[in-house]
């Protein structure tokens, strides 16, 4: 180790005056001295504190003397050692002796001085931890904030935590969590955030909680040069802060946090990462505060046009932006469903009612799902109103269509039938377009179905004549959801029975669905082969009719010209216009007969294809059985009187689904997603054990999407129950040994 002080250099380089005595004389004198010591008993004096304290200022024996102070336990030497700290070259040995001497006011003073030294700070930290020194929080906090002690931050932070100073050093912890990982290492950010997740935030002032939340948002976004993040730790800490974190997170999500904007810009983090990404949406869902519901619902309607910094990138580089928006929209609709609020209902309705601004399909479906998952009476009424919008204009059109259909069938005169058929076809196109538009609502409408809605759904969707609406209503998910509501209506025990009856049999559902799908696929391939000759005939007939149509068009043109010129008539080889007309009408008759033949061919092929209907129905029925379970889970969010039973039934199904083979477990993703929403809405502190039990099973092989969601629920229930939000930090005595003293 190099010399660090001028005083020490002068001592080391002290001039010695060479002796002028003969060497022999010196040897004799030395021998005499040894003999004298041997016979006088002075050798024993070397093992006393008095002897070695006298050697402390003697250069040759200074190191040995310092070591002897510790070995002999020389408490009286402590004031001298304290004075020597700034001058001696043997600070490491001095610290070792201090450790042997044990904790006292004097030795603590030396340890505190050593903490300020980059070289000996780690040794001093080890001593402080071993002694379990109290009152060091201010010293350690100052050390942690010092830009000169960056290399010591990790060890100092571990010491602060192991000595139990976290609760009194919250401001230092959140400050550390938000510092640049390039300087201190991302491990420090992670560790600080992890400890903040263990703080009892109910004892912290609101302004401290909000400031900590604001700083942790930085931690959430940052990563080091290798791409390592502290995101999970920051998310857990923000969850722990709870309600006081909602406002800072919302402020960042809305893009109103200028300090975060400056931080992000200085580190090259795109602003859209937190204003258009899914991370803050998930965090707001974690916090479980209904104040977030309206702004979240409103964000679904945000423009999907790329901001300038993204728009300048080429298409491949815009991929992150596109994926971020897709995840945000999908996450937002579900989060809003978990946070019921009348304000959110209004926000979703406003988006869905827009006329001048066309909605992206993803915005339409997710705004509708957010409204549907609210599931309240007002939300259902609003969704039905949107579905029925324009029905007043459709009813007379539909009546007129039925009239025209009958008139076309009765009219034998082709000339009179043609305009009727034309009006019928035009009206049919209009109605089909309107039905296609209405059919887009069916999925979300079925999600929203509540007591009293089943009959309306049947009358206005599934019972309609064949068309887009009826087809949409008979799909597996709407059919299953409608079946659950039709069966149970407002009977909570009925929905419970649907779930409890499925317990222990979940594995049969994917097996049945898979089998039905495979059987349908086999039959479909067989029918394709059976229909091949008919398909070939259809292709030939269509080709023939196309040529006839082109010929008839040309004949009509020639006929019109022949009426104006006999020359043209003669060129075409016709005797008279009547002769030409007869030929044309004969060809037209043949064309019509060809159309009839084509129609019969289509009917023949459809008859073959219709053989697939029973297979399709079996598949839909097997899928609908699964969807019926999903709807029962959603419905139990609206019956608080059976909360305990509902929690038991839902968690039991989730445990069972988690234990299925991977290829079967995937069938139950929607059921488990809806489970998270219902559990979010109905659980109380009395359900904490049930949530922690299912969480333990869910996370047995590592963190999953559902374990994260269950963590968030458990934290809120723990807060309500007044129990620690996270497992407590190990006591110093039980904690792993500190890092070895650096050499």
pLDDT in tens, 297-352: 999 999 888 888 888 888 877 888 899 999 999 999 999 999 999 999 999 999 99
Note whether 196 and 173 are within 8 A (CB).
yes
Of 114, 117, 111, nearest in space to 134 by CA: 111
Is residue 623 scored above 90 in pLDDT? yes
Contact yes or no for 19/26 (Cβ under 8 A):
yes
pLDDT at 733: 28
| Alpha carbon distances (Å) from 331 to 284, 334, 335, 698 | 11, 5, 6, 20
User: String of b and e for 386-410 (b: at least 16 CB within 10 Å)?
Assistant: bbeeeeeebeeebeebeebeeebee
* DSSP one-letter string for 683-736: --GGGHHHHHHHHHHHTTTS--HHHHHHHHHHHHHHHHHT--SSPPPPPTTTSP
Mean pLDDT of all residues in 140-160: 86
- What's the pLDDT score for residue 720? 92
Q: What is the pLDDT of residue 11?
A: 34
Which three-class secondary structure state does DSSP give residue 438? helix
What does the pLDDT read at residue 44? 53
Confidence of residue 726 (pLDDT cuts 50, 70, 90): low
CB of 230 within 8 A of CB of 177?
A: yes
478-499 average pLDDT score: 97
Token pair of 690, please? Answer: 């049930």
Work out the pLDDT band at 446, boundaries 50, 70, 90: very high
User: What are φ and ψ of residue 229, in 5° steps?
Assistant: -120, 170
CA–CA distance, 123 with 77 (Å, rounded to integer): 20
Separation CA 741–CA 617 (nearest Å) = 73
Query: Bigger pLDDT: 434 or 15?
Result: 434
Give the pLDDT band (50/70/90) at residue 36: very low
Q: What pLDDT band is residue 37 in, cutting at 50, 70 and 90?
A: very low
Helix (H) or strand (E) holding 737: none
Cα separation, 38 vs 161, whole angstroms? 54
pLDDT at 28 over 60: no
The confidence band for 466, taking pLDDT boundaries of 50, 70 and 90, is confident
Given a cut of 70, whether residue 45 has pLDDT beyond it is no
- The per-residue pLDDT for 25 is 38
Q: What average pLDDT does the chain have?
A: 87
CB 188 within 8 A of CB 227: no
Q: What pTM was estimated for this model as a whole?
A: 0.80
452 token code pair: 């009293």
Q: Percentage of residues in the chain with pLDDT exceeding 70?
A: 92
Length of the chain (residues): 743
Residue 296, pLDDT score: 97
Give the single-character DSSP code of 450: -
């Amino acid at each position: 180790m190099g010399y660090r002080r001028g005083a020490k250099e002068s001592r080391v380089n002290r001039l010695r005056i060479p002796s002028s005595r003969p060497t022999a004389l010196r040897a004799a004198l030395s021998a005499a001295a040894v003999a004298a010591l041997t016979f006088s008993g002075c050798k024993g004096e070397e093992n006393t504190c008095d002897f070695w304290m006298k050697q402390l200022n003697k250069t040759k024996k200074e190191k040995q003397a310092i070591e002897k102070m510790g070995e002999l336990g020389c408490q009286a030497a402590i004031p001298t050692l304290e004075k020597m700290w700034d001058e001696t070259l043997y600070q490491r040995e001095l610290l070792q002796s201090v450790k042997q001497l044990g904790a006292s006011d004097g030795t603590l003073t030396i340890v505190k001085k050593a903490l300020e030294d980059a070289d000996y700070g780690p040794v001093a930290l080890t001593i402080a931890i071993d002694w379990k020194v109290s009152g060091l929080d201010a010293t350690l906090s100052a050390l942690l904030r010092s830009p000169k002690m960056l290399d010591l931050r990790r060890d100092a932070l571990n010491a602060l935590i192991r000595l139990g100073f976290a609760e009194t050093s919250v401001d230092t912890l959140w400050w550390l969590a938000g510092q640049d990982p390039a300087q201190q290492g991302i491990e420090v950010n992670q560790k600080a955030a992890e400890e903040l997740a263990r703080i009892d935030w109910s004892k912290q002032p609101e302004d401290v909680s909000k400031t900590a939340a604001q700083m942790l948002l930085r931690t959430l976004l940052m990563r080091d040069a290798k791409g390592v993040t502290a995101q999970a730790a920051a998310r857990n800490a923000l969850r722990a802060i709870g309600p006081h974190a909602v406002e800072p997170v919302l402020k960042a999500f809305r893009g109103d946090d200028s300090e975060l904007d400056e931080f992000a810009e200085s580190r090259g983090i795109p602003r859209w990462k937190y204003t258009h990404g899914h991370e803050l949406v998930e965090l707001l869902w974690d916090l479980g505060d209904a104040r977030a519901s309206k702004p979240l619902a409103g964000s679904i309607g945000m423009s999907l046009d790329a901001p300038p910094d993204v728009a300048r990138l080429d298409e491949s580089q815009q991929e992150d932006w596109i994926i971020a928006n897709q995840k945000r929209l999908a996450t937002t609709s579900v989060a809003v469903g978990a946070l019921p609020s009348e304000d959110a209902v209004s926000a979703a309705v406003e988006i869905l009612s827009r006329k001048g601004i066309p909605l992206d399909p993803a915005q339409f479906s997710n705004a509708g799902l957010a409204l549907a998952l609210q599931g309240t009476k007002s939300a259902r009424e609003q969704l039905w109103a949107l579905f029925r919008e324009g029905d007043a204009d459709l009813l007379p059109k539909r009546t007129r269509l039925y009239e025209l259909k009958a008139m076309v069938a009765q009219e034998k005169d082709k000339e009179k039938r043609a305009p009727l058929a034309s009006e019928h076809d035009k009206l049919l196109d209009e109605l089909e377009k309107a039905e296609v538009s209405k059919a887009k609502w069916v999925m979300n409408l079925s999600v929203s179905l509540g007591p009293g809605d089943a009959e309306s759904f049947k009358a206005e969707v599934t019972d309609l004549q064949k068309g887009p609406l009826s087809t949409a209503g008979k799909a597996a998910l709407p059919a299953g959801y409608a079946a659950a509501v039709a069966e149970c209506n407002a009977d909570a025990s009925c929905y419970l029975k649907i779930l409890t009856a499925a317990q222990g049999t979940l594995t049969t559902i994917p097996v049945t669905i898979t089998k039905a799908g495979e059987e349908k696929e086999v039959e479909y391939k067989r029918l394709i082969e059976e229909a091949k000759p008919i398909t070939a005939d259809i292709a030939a007939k269509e080709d023939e009719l196309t040529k006839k149509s082109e010929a008839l068009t040309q004949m009509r043109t020639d006929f019109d010209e022949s009426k104006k010129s006999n020359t043209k008539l003669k060129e075409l080889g016709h005797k008279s216009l009547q002769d030409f007309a007869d030929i044309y009408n004969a060809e037209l008759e043949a064309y019509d007969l060809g159309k009839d033949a084509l129609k019969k061919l289509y009917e023949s092929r459809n008859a073959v294809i219709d053989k697939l209907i029973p297979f399709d129905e079996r598949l839909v029925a097997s899928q609908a059985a699964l969807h019926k379970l999903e709807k029962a889970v959603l419905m139990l969010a609206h019956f608080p009187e059976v909360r305990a039973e509902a929690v038991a039934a839902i968690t039991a199904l989730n445990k069972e689904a988690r234990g299925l083979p991977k290829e079967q477990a995937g069938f139950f993703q929607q059921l488990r997603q809806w489970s998270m929403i219902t559990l979010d809405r109905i659980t109380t502190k009395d359900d904490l054990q049930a949530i922690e039990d299912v969480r333990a099973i869910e996370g047995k092989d590592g963190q999953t999407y559902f374990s994260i969601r269950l963590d968030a629920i458990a934290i809120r229930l723990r807060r309500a129950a007044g129990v620690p939000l996270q497992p407590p930090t190990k006591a110093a005595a039980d904690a792993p040994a500190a890092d070895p003293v650096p050499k």
